[in-house]
Amino acid sequence: MFPFQIYGDFAGYSLIAIGIAKVLGFRLMENFHRPYFAASVGEFWHRWHISLSTWFKDYVYIPLGGNRVGKLRNYFNLFVTFVVSGIWHGANWTFLCWGSLHGLLLCVEKALGIGKTKYSGFRKFCHWIITFILVCFAWILFRANNLHDALTVIIGIFTDFEAPHKEYANFIGISLAMIILAYKELSDEFNWQINPAESKSWFVRHMYMILMIAYIILFGVLGGDQFIYFQF
């Protein structure tokens, strides 16, 4: 669930910042573009935290030589950029390993030519599933307090098949949040025209707003906790 938690957390407060800036007359760049629909790790980084990815590209990757060098040096530049990105998140071995893993995955993709062509149909679906699994696996390192905890979780994936014990109310709240987020992402990605908030029906629009407000009151975290990404 952590990949969805951190996405909702980070993309959520990015949208708040973009909205407030727009009210004040400033137009900020899009920071997230439905990253979990990426069909490669490279595409994921074109969709996730776009402002930071652009900064590392301009001030680390390109000054190192970017792709205007030989293949091996290009792989080195790519790997170093993501190692630096990992360290930027914190002085912890987990972040270093997280950045290194993404750097390694991007080098492998570049060597295999993955992502150079647009995928469609079943092939795109397979690439999407593989990318999503790899990104989620890397989040283990990002979330863990230390490498021992990360290793414990990784081992548990293959050895612990018991269902997690959660409170029923929490399970309901999380499930509804997942459904709402999934629908929003799917409708934007595939340009679906069904949006209750923009319905021509007065009743549908207001009922949707009432239900969303009720959901936030019942299941929202209203205790003033900081956003996860504020620590970075």
pLDDT in tens, 97-107: 999 999 999 99
206 catalytic per annotation: no
User: What region, left, alpha or beta, does residue 53 occupy, with left being phi > 0 and alpha being psi -120 to 50 degrees?
Assistant: alpha
- Percentage of residues of the chain with pLDDT beyond 70: 94
Residue 168 has pLDDT above 70, yes or no: no
Q: SS3 of 7, please?
A: helix
- Percentage of residues of the chain with pLDDT beyond 90: 59
Whole-angstrom Cα distance, residue 83 to residue 173? 36
Residue 199 has a pLDDT of: 81
Whole-angstrom Cα distance, residue 151 to residue 148? 5
What is the separation of C-alpha 85 from the centre of its chain, rounded to a whole number of angstroms? 15
Q: Which pTM does this prediction carry?
A: 0.84
With bands split at pLDDT 50, 70 and 90, how would you rate the model's confidence at 179? confident
Q: Which residue among 33, 46, 49, 89 is the active-site one?
A: 89
Whole-angstrom Cα distance, residue 106 to residue 94? 18
Residue 79 has a pLDDT of: 97
Q: SS3 of 38, please?
A: coil
Whole-angstrom Cα distance, residue 123 to residue 69? 31
Residues 6+ apart with CB under 8 A from 200: none
